[in-house]
Structure 1
Amino acid sequence: MSIETHFLLRKDQPGLRDLDDVLLLGPAVAMTGEAIAAGTEGTVVGVLSGGLAYLVEFPQPMGAMAMVTADMLSLARASAR
């Protein structure tokens, strides 16, 4: 399945989607162990378990990635897809 087909299939699903900008509602820990403060904006780069959790990339600390549950995120800006 191509990437384009994958995005088209998920386009109408409820919840956050890949490339949505999100706001972290509580503190999180990056995969490298660094703290990410509540209120930090990031970008969804992966939807896990049908939207129960998300892989989010944050700009601070630089390039930090964290798995965050859906209840810890709020949509800041929807992706243009």
Structure 2
Amino acid sequence: MSVVAAFARSSPGSPAEIRELDLVRLAVPVRSDAGQDVPAGAVGTVVGIWAGGSGFEVEFSEPFEALATVRSREISDHQPFHG
């Protein structure tokens, strides 16, 4: 199953369901910590949770390697980590 097909739809602004190591998809472009624009639709891994889930530190490997702080409303959907 592809990563794209495995995503569960979540409502933006419902961060309680998102945990560290979950995969998230961007609803809108965001600026990386290094100043690069990560495009909408990019998928990354949550590596930190800020302010009780109002924001997340997300690591992206495509279209380029980047870290970005992402607000819960900027996430379109996510896939829980099953390790």
- Interval of TM-score (by shorter of Structure 1 and Structure 2): 0.7 to 0.9
Deviation at 1:77, TM superposition (A): 1.3
Q: Distance in 2 between matches of 1:75 and 1:17?
A: 13
CA RMSD of aligned residues (A): 1.7
Deviation at 1:47, TM superposition (A): 0.3
Which residue is equivalent to 2:27?
25
Deviation at 1:61, TM superposition (A): 4.7
Which residue is equivalent to 1:45?
47
TM-score, structure 1 as length reference: 0.76
Unaligned runs of 5+ in 2: 1-15
Higher helix share: 1
Deviation at 1:15, TM superposition (A): 2.5
Deviation at 1:74, TM superposition (A): 3.1
Unaligned runs of 5+ in 1: 1-13
Q: Any conservation in 1 of the 2:47–2:59 contact (CA below 8 Å)? A: yes
Q: Secondary structure of 2:73's match? A: helix
Q: Which has the larger radius of gyration?
A: 1
Q: Which has the higher contact order (CA 8 A, sep 6+)?
A: 2
Identical counterparts, % of pairs: 35
Q: Distance in 2 between matches of 1:23 and 1:76?
A: 6
Displaced runs of 4+ in structure 1, greater than 6 A? none
